[in-house]
Structures are given as structure tokens and as C-alpha cells.
Amino acid sequence: MYRPTVAEIDLGAIRENLRAIRACIPLRTQVIGVVKADAYGHGAARVAAVLEQEQVPLLAVATPDEAVELREAGIMTEILVLGHAPPDFVPFAVSNNVTLTTDAHATTAMYASAAGSGRVRLHYKIDTGMGRAGVPADTATGQIMRSFALPNVDIVGLYSHLASAESDLDFTARQTECFADIVRDVRAGGLRPAMVHLANSAGIFTVHAPPLDGVRPGILLYGLPPVASLAQACAVKPSLSLRTRLEVVKDLPAGHGIGYGRTFVTERPTRMGLIPIGYADGYPRSLSNKASVIVRGQFAPIVGRVSMDVVAIDVTDVPAAVPGDPVTLIGEQDGLAITAVQLAEMADTISYEIVTGVSKRVPRIYIDRQP
Ligand SMILES: *Cc1c(COP(=O)(O)O)cnc(C)c1O
């Protein structure tokens, strides 16, 4: 590794976050560990190994290929594919303990015939208001009961996804009630799904219903509360830090432009520092002239545009700064902190996009403080 830019992943923090989440949910409720999108940029295989060690009974991914990646990495825990899987994935699923999501009786019938002589495990996803995937609530019970009668399929789970768990408690309550009604009707019909689940990270705190079998935290496992008010509800710690080192320090006179478009012009003689990270590493260009980084115990502002491979910072007020100094863009350093949540606000997005956006060019390095 010749370039000092890295994403530092604290696996111990993920382990502690899992424990914090478990402390917030009823004893009989299981955590389904959401590791889609390369575990929100943290590295799916490494994170899944930690969750497996901690006896998380079910991992959730978005795509079939993400499930394959985990199996190739030696992860044995059952995996639920939350997104769509084509029927030609069914044989892999059947023989590799991978559970699929179905959204209609027709889809289920297709999976049943693709299962051949095996049995495919399925969770039925119910659309209780998200308006994306899932069997529409009004026909859900009928379709699920018809699917129940199919050969070669085991409907082992029922779930739904909340549209605004962090922002609209009334709508969350309506989705919860709609889901509970369908679960009740399906149970009355004789189906006994082992895993009924509804809440994402925010929903863990905003769904008010009798305990379900599972919750599906993603972002909270990675220590990023989906809204600030939840930070008090569950003490979690960010698990991804984005770090680099100062590459160049250079004096510029007053009145000198910095970067593409000359969007920053120095107002004073300025010590400019260059750091080897850019939007191709997933550091958003929209943070140009907005965000700061930590260097030598101070916040140094980004000056000029974030370009593809480098960012300029103003270190005039950090006179001791020299090439080689550690620089933190996300995370803690010298008693200061910058969170993905703060950057997301500045970039007009959500922390999810910041952490999943850290690109492949940035090597992940892992710290694992065993408890
Ligand atoms: C991504 C996802 C989650 C996790 O959401 P967070 O807000 O990150 O906790 C849960 N359920 C489903 C269906 C998802 O797609």
C-alpha cells in the first residue's frame, strides 16, 4: 500500500453495537444482521464473521451475489436475500442455506418449480405502505395461503418494511397494524412462520407492538443512529473511520485560487495542505468548501473543490502541520470527531450514502479489540 488513504473498520465497535441493540429489544427477539452493500461499506465477509461469532441467527443481504460472496468467504449462518432473486438462483439457495424473499404467489410458484427435488426456504414480504416490493396488503393473506399449499417451499418468515420509521410515527403505527392483521390471519389459516419481523434500525424504537421474532438493524450496527433523537435511545459507536495523511504542504500568496473552477481564492497568505483522497474514493464533491478534516488536534477546512483524487485543506492555523501528519475525514483523532452523520447533513444526504459510498479504491483495514 503506497497511498495512506484507508477506511479503518472497528470490528469491536460493531460487536458492542450489536450488544447495545440486543439490550434495547425483548429477550426473545432476534437480531437479523443486515450486511447488504458490503456491510454498508465495512466489508461484508469480515462483518458477517463477527456477527456469526456473536450468534446472530440470520444475516440479510440485498442481492443473490452478496449471498454467494458470503458463502465463498466461509460464512455458514443462514442468509436472507431481501431483494429480488431470479429463479436460476434457486438451486444455489436450496443447497447453501440461503433463504429468498417472495412477493407474490406467482413468484413463489416459480421458485417452487425451480427448487427441483429440493426445498426452497422463503420469507414473504408484505407491502404495508412502502409501495415498493412486496405482496399488496389487501391480497396478501390469500396469496400467502395459496403459496403455503405449494410443494417444495417452506414459508419460514413474514416481513414488511417501514417507509418512515424515523419520521412519521402515525404512518409507522398504521403499517404495524396492517402487518399484525395479516400475520394474525395467516396464523389463523395454519401457517406458522418462525420469523416474523418488521423493524429496521429506527423501527426498533418507533414500532409499538407486541414483540416480534426479529428486528433488522443495518445502520445502527455500524454505529450511526438514523436520526439524532435515537442517539440517546441506544448508545452506539461509529465503526468506520476515513483516514489519510498530509501529502504536501505549500505556501500560497493572498489572492490565489485553489482547485477546479477557482471556487476558493485565498484572502491571506495561506498554507495549503493536500490530502490524497477525492470523490473517486467516495468523499462527496458536494463537500467542497464545506467540510473540515482533523489534523494535529485542529479542524482544518476544505478549500476549493473536492476533486477526483485530491482535496486541499487550509492549514495556515496549524503551523506545525507537515507532510506525513495523520488526517481524519471521518472518525476521531486527537480528541476531536467528525461523524458520517455530520458530513451527510453538509452533503444533503444520509449517513448511509456516505459509508456505502467509500469506494473500492480505499483499502479497508480492520481493528478487532476482542472483549
Ligand atoms: C436495508 C434494510 C434494512 C436495514 O435498514 P437500516 O435503516 O439500515 O436499519 C432493514 N430491512 C430491509 C428490508 C432493508 O432493505
Whether 198 is in a domain gets the answer yes
Question: Residues 200, 162: contact at Cβ < 8 Å?
Answer: yes
Q: Is 289 helix (H, G, I), strand (E, B) or coil?
A: coil
User: 42 CB under 6 A from ligand 1?
Assistant: no
Identify the pLDDT of residue 1. Answer: 86
Closest to 16 in 3D by CA, of 222, 258, 317 = 222
Please tell me whether residues 175 and 53 are part of one structural domain. Answer: yes
Protein residue with least CA distance to atom 12, ligand 1? 161
Closest to 32 in 3D by CA, of 70, 77, 66 = 77
* Beta-ladder partners of 200: none
Ligand 1 test: best mutation among 102, 103, 161, most atoms within 8 Å of CB?
161
Identify the pLDDT of residue 370. Answer: 64
User: 152 CB under 6 A from ligand 1?
Assistant: no
Three cell numbers, residue 370: 476482542
Q: Give the pLDDT confidence of 45-73 residue by residue, as tens digits.
A: 999 999 999 999 999 999 999 999 999 99
Residue 201 Cα, ligand 1 centroid: separation in angstroms? 7
Please tell me whether residues 259 and 363 are part of one structural domain. Answer: yes
Confidence band, pLDDT 50/70/90 cuts, at residue 265:
very high
End-of-domain residue from the set 171, 190, 222: 222
Residue 314 Cα, ligand 1 centroid: separation in angstroms? 38
Q: Give the pLDDT confidence of 188-214 residue by residue, as tens digits.
A: 999 999 999 999 999 999 999 888 999
**Is residue 371 over pLDDT 70?**
no
CATH number at residue 310: 2.40.37.10
Question: Residues 338, 362: contact at Cβ < 8 Å?
Answer: no
Residue 98 Cα, ligand 1 centroid: separation in angstroms? 18
Identify the pLDDT of residue 233. Answer: 83
Please tell me whether residues 78 and 184 are part of one structural domain. Answer: yes
* DSSP code, position 4: -
State the closest ligand 1 atom to the C-alpha of 217, by its place in the atom list counted from 1: 9
Mean model confidence pLDDT for the chain: 97
Please tell me whether residues 272 and 181 are part of one structural domain. Answer: no
Which sequence positions are flagged as catalytic?
36, 260
Identify the pLDDT of residue 253. Answer: 98
Question: Residues 25, 19: contact at Cβ < 8 Å?
Answer: no
Residue 333 Cα, ligand 1 centroid: separation in angstroms? 30
Distance CA 193, CA 175 (A): 19
The fraction of the chain above a pLDDT of 70, given in percent, is 99
**Is residue 235 over pLDDT 60?**
yes
State the closest ligand 1 atom to the C-alpha of 226, by its place in the atom list counted from 1: 7
Identify the pLDDT of residue 232. Answer: 81
Closest to 62 in 3D by CA, of 133, 163, 2, 164 = 133
Question: Residues 263, 288: contact at Cβ < 8 Å?
Answer: yes
Least-confidence region, from 241-250, 323-332, 362-371: 362-371
Please tell me whether residues 178 and 254 are part of one structural domain. Answer: no
User: 216 CB under 6 A from ligand 1?
Assistant: yes
Domain limits for position 94: 11-222
Quick one: average pLDDT of 325-329?
Answer: 98
Total number of domains in the chain: 2
Phi, psi of 133 (to 5 degrees): -75, 165
DSSP secondary structure of 311-322 = EEEE-TT-TT--
Distance CA 302, CA 293 (A): 7
Kindly give, in sequence order, each residue whose CB lies less than 8 Å from that of residue 317, ignoring residues fewer than 6 positions away: 298, 300
Question: Residues 183, 148: contact at Cβ < 8 Å?
Answer: no
Please tell me whether residues 248 and 212 are part of one structural domain. Answer: no
Kindly give, in sequence order, each residue whose CB lies less than 8 Å from that of residue 138, ignoring residues fewer than 6 positions away: none
Please tell me whether residues 150 and 246 are part of one structural domain. Answer: no
Q: List, as own/partner pairs, every contact residues 265-270 make where C-beta atoms lie below 8 angstroms and the sequence separation is at least 24, other chains included.
A: 266/303, 268/316, 269/316, 270/303, 270/314, 270/316
Please tell me whether residues 206 and 252 are part of one structural domain. Answer: no
State the closest ligand 1 atom to the C-alpha of 161, by its place in the atom list counted from 1: 13
